[in-house]
Amino acid sequence: MKALARVIDLEACPLDDEAFIASCRQKMADDGVLTLPGFLTAQAINTLISEAKANYADAFHTNTSHNVYLTEPNLDLGDDHIFNRQITSSKGCITTDQIQADSGLKLIYGSVPFRQFAAAVLGEARLYEYADPLSSINVHYAEEGKELGWHFDNSAFAITLLLQAPEDGGIFEYVKNLRDTEGGNMNFAGVADVVDGRREPTSLNIEPGTLVLFRGRNSIHRVTPTIGKKRRILAVLAYNQKPGIALSEAARMTFFGRLD
């Protein structure tokens, strides 16, 4: 824990405290999202921003078109059907192997206390790193006009750390439990209401240094376009529910521009 104390405020976020874990687990169960402001120390935020800025030149930039379900189009439905409606997402990204070996991100990601804490909050028996060398830790950059369009996640959960907020925009918005994947209900009408602005989403006010755990498989979400010259910088700590899983080659080429 002594090493973790350099990057995590363990007084504000005591990872091994049962009462704290229980309160986080309840919040996660109630809202489908947990935000922990002040998770990172001030020094860690500054250091990680400096690292991210130094690595920016190596970022792979994407501007992709996708539907909210992140699937191939259904040819039996019309082009204007919400299932086939195309939405834009754009960002820059660096991968696990491009992050310094002594980075605080790798310290957090690989630490047993953090992994046990996250697993307990998410209700998972254990969390595993990706089997490929690119996908476990990513840093995302969103410059002016860049955004993450409305979508549902394929993964059961996401863990992120906001390092730098933009001057404006870059707001995380979501609607909880808009579809039921397990029950096979895609809720086309409800999804269209959100995408077309007829239903108001919930917005999260996330400050730099905040840890966010989110269940996005059934909760539609997006990040609004960045406004201003200051980049939004976000670290993604990606784990699996089972060992030995790699991100598909197609996904790696799409998101990272390479396989290894």
DSSP string over 141-157: EE-BT--EEEE--SSS-
What Rg, from alpha-carbon coordinates, does the chain have? 18
Exposed, middle or buried: residue 60 (CB in 10 Å: 0-12, 13-18, 19+)?
middle
For residue range 179-229, what is the model confidence (pLDDT) as tens digits? 999 999 999 999 999 999 999 999 998 999 999 999 999 999 999 999 999
pLDDT of the residue at 151 = 97
Q: What does the pLDDT read at residue 1?
A: 80
> Is 127's pLDDT higher than 90?
yes
Q: Does 5 score more than 90 pLDDT?
A: yes
250 pLDDT tier (thresholds 50, 70, 90)? confident
Which residues neighbour 146 within 8 Å (Cβ) at sequence distance 6 or greater?
90, 91, 92, 225, 226, 232
**What end-to-end distance do the CA atoms of the chain give, in Å?**
32
Domains in the chain, ordered, with CATH? 4-256 (2.60.120.620)
For the segment 14-58, what is each residue's pLDDT rounded down to a tens digit? 999 999 999 999 999 999 999 999 999 999 999 999 999 999 999
Strands of the 87-94 sheet, one edge to the other: 33-36, 211-214, 158-164, 232-237, 137-142, 87-94, 60-66
